[in-house]
Structure 1
Amino acid sequence: MSQDPVDSPQRRRLLAGLGTGVVAYGAGVSATAAQSDEFDEISVRLNNIATNAWEVTEASDDEFAETGVGNPELTFRVGSRYTIQNNGWSAHPLEFRDSDGDPLLSQSAQGSYEGDSETNWVDNETSVSFTVTSELAAELSSYICTVHSSMEGTIRTIDQTGTDGPADVTMSDQSTDGTSVVVDSVRLDEGGFVTIHDSSLTNGATLESVRGTSEYLEVGSVQDLEVELDDPLTSGDTLIAMAHRDSNDNETYDFVSSGGNADGPYSFDGNAVIDDADVQINTSAAVKIDDQQSDGTSVTVDFARLDDGGFVTIHDSTLLDGDALGSVRGTSQYFDSGTQEEFTVELDEALTETETVIAMPHRDTNGNQTYDFVSSEANNDGPYTDDDGAITDSAEVQVGDAVEASVTFPRQATASPTFTQDEATSPGVSVAVSSNVESAVVVTYEDGENLVIAGLGVFGADELGGENPVTIAVEDAGGFPGSHTAHAIPTSDLSGEYAPGDTVSMDTAGAVADNDTAVVHQATLTFEDQTSDSPVESGDTVATVDSSLTGDVTYTVDVHVTDDEGGLVAAEWIGSTNVLSGDNEGSEIIAERTPSDGEFNELPFSGTDTFVAMIHLATDASAGDAATPGTGPVVPNIDGESGAVPGGITATAELTAEMDDGGDDGGMDGGDDGGMDGGSDDGDSGGSDDGSSDDGGPGFGPIAGVAGLGGLATYAYRKLNLDSEPATPEDDGLDEDDE
């Protein structure tokens, strides 16, 4: 049946005041729309095409059916009264049926609505008359000739105005054990969910009233939809079924976890599409157990209600073969009457492989608070039962080692300059993750109360040893630069498919195995070629640099020297700025030879050479303080495609210092050009194919051609130490003697 939104005081109520996000729901429900006089009484003439099909030849409502075609779809308006002239009634009795094929109204059988006073069924043989109530509309599915099965067509229902809303939901009064409810029908024109609210919704408890939500529903209609309640009922209540959109297209219900900003309700004429029902508890016990992973020695039961007290017993799947006693694997402690949530049942006989287990509430029939069902051979402490037998719930328990995961997410930068390429690094972060199961590494930022996904990736356990960090591209930059959190989540525990920009659901957030938070910076660094008109002495200005680093943090720009072949010398500096913060222009690099016995950083300096400017943190200093080169840790610079780039945030420049007239060039390496690198007369930095250095240090290859950086990668992992907090020169493994 195609069921469109209905206005009726008995079935359809539209909760007023709802927009697309969380707004004031109001304390009551909106008034029923006034019916249209035009459609109070509708007359129809129905004929037969031999014994093959029905045909509508005349109707006072143009929307009722297409005339002149066989077995057309009939459209009934809720609240209207129909008189249908059946020209062939004696050979072709007319019957209206529900989706199960049972008669609702019939000219040849007893229909279930024929005694309903509001429907007011009248059969005059040549014609029938009846009123389409909302209850009848909820069940109407087809019409048929009870003699000729080929004469059958479908039915849809609409409200009296004929307006089709984007969704519809109907739910009947019912009795349940409290762990689930059944929604009679739902139609979602754009897919989504059906959420069950308790009656506190009418008092404005928008989010707190949510008791459970369906799985994601594709576009279309569903009949007899069972919705499990995450928060089971323990007493009767009026429940409200509400149609919700999947506004962020991740097939995960995020309305509550997003604070109402995602997956809002479908609305029709400005009101949420809902239906309500009186739901009563009809059992003396209930139990709920979800699929889970276990080491095999215990299982977790989500919920149990024992009105007379007792136990919850865990059976293995041999119970399904009739082994009531031998299937018992473990039993809870004795519980007094009432409800229990999230409790563990230790198993007397451990599970050794994935198994279906059955949780079963048992009475304490002999009142000794000891479980005697097995020892008494089922004579004592039998199970709670209902009309269908023992009350149970089942779950699949995957047996394996418990999830062990750790996440280390150090302070770092991205979208920042590097001497390894012309452009800044593409946005991304580096996270060290150790996990013994396949896991999603999800990087989020906070947007109000929501966790929004900046980027994510899925990795096998063999890729998550913790030694080699994984790189996650940042595709949603709404929180960049700023604080981000990296989460390790077993893929088996993800509540749905996620993409950057999505909001993390409460279920997924609850499945996080470990996480860590770090500030992700963005930097700029401009280091241009410069010339001094005299040799540079200790304490002089070597050059100037423009720089910026986001966040409330202080830093320095230190200048490294290069070796005879143009490779960066990681542990030798020629100077540093004072301590900086934020944006700075024209910061002076003050010459200071560090270490004082370095091989390539002699002062005074004259001639031409290539230098590398690099941003270092100054964690315990204030802006304006004097700084010594190399005393602060490097800020890792992450490229979203290739990972950590060598050297962190870097830029290169050629610096020239004019020689004294007629004097020695004062160069650091004694080369012909007075430069630091002993290169050719034109000041070219030179270099070797393999990027090695003659001094046994971490030769990084030619600065001018960094595609093959040789030992640069070694430097990156030794210097940046991405598994932990950024290293300082004292603990980065680059001893001066080794350089």
Structure 2
Amino acid sequence: MTRRTLAVLAVVATLVLWGGAATAVHAPVEQTATQAPAEQTAIDDAATAANVAQEANASVTFGDQNASDTTVTVENATLPEGGYVVIHDDTLLDGDVTGSVVGVSEYLDPGTYEEVNVTLYEDVVGADFSNATLPNGTAQFIAMPHVETGNNTTYEFVATNGSEDGAYVVDGEPVVDAANVTFGEMQAEEPNRGIVVDGLEAPPMAATNTTVVVNATLENTAEDPRTEDVAFRLEGGGVDEVVHKNLTIAGDESLSVTFEVNTTGVPEDEYIHGVTTYNSSEFTELEVTDDAEVRLIGQAADDANITVQSVFVPEGGYVAIHDDTLLEGEVIGSVVGVSEYLEPGYHADVEVMLYEGVPGADFSNATLPNGTERFIAMPHLETNDNTTYDFVATNGSDDGPYVVDGQPVIDDGIVNFTPEGPGDGAGEGDGAGEGGGADEGDGQDGEPGDGDGAPPDGQDGEPGDGEPTTTTTEDDTQTTTDDDTTETTTEDDTTETTTEDDTTETTTEDDTTETTTEDDTTETTETTTEDDTTETTETTTEDEASA
């Protein structure tokens, strides 16, 4: 182990024992009263795996290297319980445990691996690389094996702020190795090979007796036009379906092409499918099945919108989001969001807005969670052919969930809500209420006020009560008015006036006069003048005067 790696270990061990990040992953989990036995079994299995991983002989070797693009290579890694090889940049040494993650391998089954390639600045769930740039020259990176604790083969360490998929730990220290990576010029382009496959969009799942649609981008790498046979192929389990197209592409040009193949007669099984040319090919896996499937992984959210990574609805339908009261048996009331209607087939990155748009549900008192919350994604059928989700409105009689082996199809994930911070109290409203109701100007923290420093501007968010609102200024007179109340206070010869639609009251001290009359409407005016002397007059009028 190099001296550089020892230095990294010292820093990381200080940060760590992951400061609760990795150790939190490996801590035993107590069963709550609402956890079902099956759920508790899964938690126990994950905790056991994590504990074994701490004691196992995990290792990683990451050598200095030159890179011509964003891919770095880890020489070897041993992951006794499976997991990922994660690449951190040197901000890890400054204490940024999650933000330093700049790359992660695909999920690796338990074992030892050679030459593990990791692409930097992409495909890290929960990380934002929109402003990332490739380093210029030499930069230090740290390779670190992480254990899979959520049993979903998706790296969620960043998205869950370190609560899932933490680092392998041996003898109380995380397993790491550091390397200097020197970034140089990109490799020279490959010589032309005629028409090649430059991109493939192919679904990973399809139902029986349906049509699979595959889109491919083809590029002619030659300067002159080329005409070649291009084929789509579905193969596996004794099946070999081929669709041919003869295509001509101009020199140095690209062409998008669509292939369709029907799965009628294709048994439920796993296959490969893709597009081939004379000099290239690109394939991906395809599962033919009539069983629904859904995937919800941990993520960070700054609003009520969450993303279901994938859902397969062989007969069409919806993906509903339940909160964790579903685990307590609240089947209907736990629905907090639903997608738009989804056509039969596979759908990726389905967005669902929480606490709105669920027919039959009342979210008038719902608030966005603060911190981490568990949600459950569940695909639902469309049973009454109106493309509207009616499960809640019909108390579960329509649009029920997809079921496999007698159990609803579900997947759960942890969402870490990080809402935007409160405003600064400056705003544009006038702070006036509407009589006996809530005072609209009071608002929540940071909601618009008139910016003059008066109480309506960004106060504590408590609703108003329609009582008179006071505005105070010095040297000048300022008036605040609403439908029912106007009250003005000034100092340095202060004048205060209160007017209400229903009551008029004037008070004067130093010789007080009080009159009472009654009418259908009462108006009150209160004036206070303060100089060296204070005089107050109060008058109450009613139809029948009394003094």
State if a TM-score over 0.5 links the two structures: no
TM-score (normalised: structure 1): 0.29
Larger radius of gyration between Structure 1 and Structure 2: 1
Q: Which structure has more helix as a fraction of its residues?
A: 2
